[in-house]
């Protein structure tokens, strides 16, 4: 029988600190609070781990905590919220795609400047 993962194990697997995992629980970002073992420690399931990984992706792509909370509330509500979750993720995806495009343009400007400096150095060495 699967006894679950400790907070230390989930922390190691996700790269989040135990403090952040506890914060996610307090902030209402988990689908449900992880059950506790006989010693009172949290025991995370594979489902919990997968959910936390999803949360890290949302956060790293700039989704605000309030929006993540809304997504968690919708997900916890079951299949009736699939359309609303889709809308939320499509809107977030559009924002991420726009940021990526902006970064591509920024990178092109930086690459152009690097080319100018490399050319200048080569001409000075000749």
Question: How far is 76 from 125, CA to CA, in rounded Å?
Answer: 65
Looking at residue 7, what is its pLDDT? 94
Residue 81 lies in a domain: yes
Measured in whole angstroms, how far is the alpha carbon of residue 126 from the centre of its chain? 49
Read off the CATH number of the domain in which 29 is found.
1.10.1660.10
The answer as to whether 43 is a domain residue is: yes
Give the total number of structural domains in the chain. 1
Q: Is residue 1 part of a domain?
A: no
Domain-embedded: residue 80: yes
Query: Tokens in use for 56?
Result: 């890290």
Q: Given this model, what pLDDT does residue 37 score?
A: 86
pLDDT interval class at 34 (50, 70, 90): confident
The pLDDT value given to residue 1: 40
Q: What is the pLDDT of residue 24?
A: 94
Domain of residue 98 covers: 7-125
Indicate whether 96 belongs to any domain: yes
User: Each residue of 39-65: pLDDT tens digit?
Assistant: 888 999 999 999 999 999 999 999 999
pLDDT value for 61: 97
Residue 120 lies in a domain: yes
- Average pLDDT over every residue of 85-92: 98
Q: What is the pLDDT, as a whole number, of residue 2?
A: 54
Is residue 99 over pLDDT 90? yes
The sign of the torsion formed by the CA atoms of 49, 55, 61, 62 equals: negative
Question: What tokens does 60 get?
Answer: 């790293």
């Amino acid at each position: 029988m699967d006894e679950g993962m400790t907070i230390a194990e989930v922390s190691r697997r996700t790269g989040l600190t135990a403090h952040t995992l506890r914060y996610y629980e307090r902030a209402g970002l988990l689908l449900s609070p992880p059950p506790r073992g006989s010693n009172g420690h949290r025991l995370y399931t594979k489902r919990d781990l997968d959910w936390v990984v999803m949360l890290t992706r949302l956060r790293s792509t700039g989704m605000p905590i309030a929006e993540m909370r809304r997504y968690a509330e919708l997900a916890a509500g079951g299949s009736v919220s699939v359309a609303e979750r889709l809308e939320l993720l499509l809107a977030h995806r559009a924002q991420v795609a726009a940021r990526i495009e902006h970064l591509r343009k920024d990178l092109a400007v930086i690459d152009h400047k690097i080319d100018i400096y490399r050319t200048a150095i080569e001409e000075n060495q000749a």
